[in-house]
A and B are shown apart, each in its own frame.
Chain A
């Protein structure tokens, strides 16, 4: 059945592909709470209540949601090292995911994210909308927005902020259906991205 599951169509980018555990439990992150994310010392402050999955898609990531990951998916990735991929490699030889390199330029990070999405979603209609300089936890980084349609034919919007800090990648991404959900949460998500800091 594995093949079928894979073809069953990625919904939100990360949750389906990073093989989010089926039996994940959820814990409340309360409004105003500041906590470390993705087993790193990077902290963010939640401007409103969020739900945090108790199981991690990968050891270097963490997933939060408001209404379930198909409708709102907030991902934190931290300490991704040179040569590692964003998601788990599941077709290592025949469909390899691109690897992160510590030498990447900020533009390369965006292209790498796009390439990862394209390989993972199998030629989806993924498009980068806008790319701006930004800071993440005080480090020089990039903020970009994108749109795509996955296997479920739902148009989604996404935004991500990323920086290479001490040769490792830190990235926060949010995606949700274009209709209603994205606009509903994006302001709070941007505030959370702005709130990221180390100690």
Chain B
């Protein structure tokens, strides 16, 4: 039903080209149009009743968002994302945005017409370096500065009854998202049209080059996302989502087409200079370091075996030495949770490798014990559980584990 509504509205948008819409607006407000201010400019105010109404709704939503338990409030991480934004679009323009980090294991980011930028933790988990994060931020910033969502709203408004667009905001989340309603107004994934996405892609390449980032980061994101979607689909036995609408930015151009075009734009922007551009992989890892274990845990909880297995390999950097204790532990948890033929033995192996790194979480012993017990090695499993309890005597399930390990209960 929703999809139908969205596509009807979209069809309307195509049938009435934006150029026509713009002319109409300019006719009415010729004066305003000539000295049109960008929304990223200092002191920008909404220009007419519709935009004022929209801002009012968005500001209300932002007020509610501030109370959300899903916000990541860590000042250091917030400051890092803000600094990357400012470095990418420049100090002056980045003043127009207020960034909120949202704890949701979905690959997404969005920017509302009033300058609220939402960055999902699932996106932070998937970026491999600062340049990739900058590419996403620049992409969203371009949508914002070019007022794409405002243009869509104007169009919707002319097609539907009064404020009914508020109740049919084109949310197209392919997953159930716990906090979706809290950001429905702010974080709606607008179905931007093909032209708008091209504009935003081109904008992101420009900003990246301007800021000194490697513009190839933008296409790398799409190849990673496509491969992850393939991996998810293969394991679950459905068609890959990579060429559907949905996923990051719920875009119109198909991901694979887009990847190629972004790569080409990056080549053109860099010219013949093949020198190394800044990617900031180490900086990015450092900034996210304290959050990774939790973000990986959120991802594992989604029970997307194929996609998560791919993602962990990506995070390890396709390098055997890149498998840290945390990543090995996460991989072991993934296999133990899937619980298919051979998975417990495989999980036990990964737990042992994790423990061997000397920097694995103590829960590796817990997982090892439980995997061994499920695999029929009860005494060995009980021994591993006892090792865990020595390390974490106050674990939430210590009492149960102690009884399973054959210890006498107090």
Q: Name A residues whose Cβ lies closer than 8 Å to a Cβ of B.
A: 1-4, 6-10, 91, 93-96, 98, 101, 103, 105-108, 110-111, 114-115, 118-126, 128-133, 142, 144, 149-153, 155
Other-chain contact of B69, A1, A106, A142, A155 (Cβ < 8 Å): A155
Give the chain A neighbours of B236 by CB distance below 8 A: 93-94, 96
**21 interchain pairs, CB-CB under 8 A:** A2-B1, A4-B2, A4-B171, A6-B176, A8-B181, A98-B303, A98-B337, A106-B400, A107-B397, A107-B401, A110-B397, A119-B301, A123-B178, A124-B178, A125-B69, A126-B301, A130-B397, A133-B409, A144-B397, A151-B181, A155-B69
Q: How far is the CA of A99 from the CA of B173 in the complex (A)?
A: 24
Q: For this complex, into which size category does the number of interface residues on chain B fall?
A: 35 or more
Q: Determine the residue in chain A with the shortest Cβ distance to B106.
A: A123
Q: Total contacts A to B, CB within 8 angstroms?
A: 128
- B181–A7 touching, CB < 8 Å: yes
Give the chain B neighbours of A119 by CB distance below 8 A: 176, 301-303
Q: How far is the CA of A115 from the CA of B301 in the complex (A)?
A: 6
Other-chain contact of A152, B181, B237, B397, B409 (Cβ < 8 Å): B181
Q: How far is the CA of A123 from the CA of B171 in the complex (A)?
A: 17
Give the chain A neighbours of B401 by CB distance below 8 A: 107
- B238–A121 touching, CB < 8 Å: no
Q: Determine the residue in chain A with the shortest Cβ distance to B167.
A: A4
Q: Determine the residue in chain A with the shortest Cβ distance to B373.
A: A105
- B1–A1 touching, CB < 8 Å: yes
A108-B1 contact given A128-B397, A153-B68, CB 8 Å threshold: no
- B3–A3 touching, CB < 8 Å: yes
- Knowing that A106-B400, A115-B303, A130-B396 touch, tell me 4 more A-B residue pairs with CB under 8 angstroms: A9-B182, A119-B301, A131-B400, A133-B409
- B176–A122 touching, CB < 8 Å: yes
Q: Name B residues whose Cβ lies closer than 8 Å to a Cβ of A.
A: 1-3, 67-70, 103-106, 171, 173-182, 184, 236-238, 298, 301-303, 337, 339, 370, 373-374, 396-397, 399-401, 403-404, 409
Q: How far is the CA of A17 from the CA of B177 in the complex (A)?
A: 13
A151-B182 contact given A106-B404, A122-B177, A131-B399, CB 8 Å threshold: yes
Q: Determine the residue in chain B with the shortest Cβ distance to A149.
A: B69
Q: How far is the CA of A128 from the CA of B69 in the complex (A)?
A: 17
Q: How far is the CA of A70 from the CA of B251 in the complex (A)?
A: 36
Q: How far is the CA of A96 from the CA of B400 in the complex (A)?
A: 28
- A3–B178 touching, CB < 8 Å: no
Distance from B387 Cβ to chain A, minimum over Cβ atoms (Å) = 16
- A153–B180 touching, CB < 8 Å: no
Other-chain contact of B400, A91, A121, A133 (Cβ < 8 Å): A133
Give the chain B neighbours of A115 by CB distance below 8 A: 301, 303, 337
Q: Determine the residue in chain A with the shortest Cβ distance to B64.
A: A153
Distance from A29 Cβ to chain B, minimum over Cβ atoms (Å) = 31
- A122–B180 touching, CB < 8 Å: yes
Q: How far is the CA of A121 from the CA of B181 in the complex (A)?
A: 12
Give the chain A neighbours of B404 by CB distance below 8 A: 105-107
Give the chain A neighbours of B400 by CB distance below 8 A: 106-107, 131-133, 142
Distance from B218 Cβ to chain A, minimum over Cβ atoms (Å) = 26
Give the chain B neighbours of A111 by CB distance below 8 A: 337
- A93–B298 touching, CB < 8 Å: no
Q: How far is the CA of A95 from the CA of B179 in the complex (A)?
A: 17
- B302–A118 touching, CB < 8 Å: yes
A118-B1 contact given A6-B176, A106-B404, A107-B370, CB 8 Å threshold: no
Distance from A130 Cβ to chain B, minimum over Cβ atoms (Å) = 5
Other-chain contact of B184, A7, A105, A114 (Cβ < 8 Å): A7
Other-chain contact of B303, A1, A6, A96 (Cβ < 8 Å): A96
Give the chain B neighbours of A2 by CB distance below 8 A: 1-2
Q: How far is the CA of A129 from the CA of B181 in the complex (A)?
A: 26
Q: How far is the CA of A128 from the CA of B395 in the complex (A)?
A: 11
- B399–A133 touching, CB < 8 Å: yes
Q: How far is the CA of A179 from the CA of B403 in the complex (A)?
A: 33
Other-chain contact of A114, B173, B182, B301, B409 (Cβ < 8 Å): B301
- B184–A125 touching, CB < 8 Å: no
A103-B103 contact given A152-B181, A153-B182, CB 8 Å threshold: no
- B180–A108 touching, CB < 8 Å: no
Please provide the 5 A-B residue pairs with the shortest distance between their CB atoms, ordered closest to farther: A131-B397, A122-B176, A124-B178, A118-B301, A3-B2
- A123–B180 touching, CB < 8 Å: no
Give the chain B neighbours of A122 by CB distance below 8 A: 104, 175-178, 180
- B176–A121 touching, CB < 8 Å: yes
Q: How far is the CA of A118 from the CA of B104 in the complex (A)?
A: 11
Q: How far is the CA of A122 from the CA of B282 in the complex (A)?
A: 31
Q: How far is the CA of A96 from the CA of B373 in the complex (A)?
A: 26
- A93–B237 touching, CB < 8 Å: yes
Distance from A77 Cβ to chain B, minimum over Cβ atoms (Å) = 20
Give the chain B neighbours of A96 by CB distance below 8 A: 236, 303
- B177–A123 touching, CB < 8 Å: yes
Q: How far is the CA of A129 from the CA of B396 in the complex (A)?
A: 6
Give the chain A neighbours of B179 by CB distance below 8 A: 124, 151, 153
A125-B181 contact given A107-B370, A131-B397, CB 8 Å threshold: no
Give the chain A neighbours of B302 by CB distance below 8 A: 118-119, 123
Q: Determine the residue in chain B with the shortest Cβ distance to A2.
A: B1
Distance from A91 Cβ to chain B, minimum over Cβ atoms (Å) = 8
Give the chain B neighbours of A3 by CB distance below 8 A: 1-3, 171
Interface centre among B181, B184, B238, B370 (most CB of A within 10 A): B181
- A123–B69 touching, CB < 8 Å: no
Distance from A112 Cβ to chain B, minimum over Cβ atoms (Å) = 9
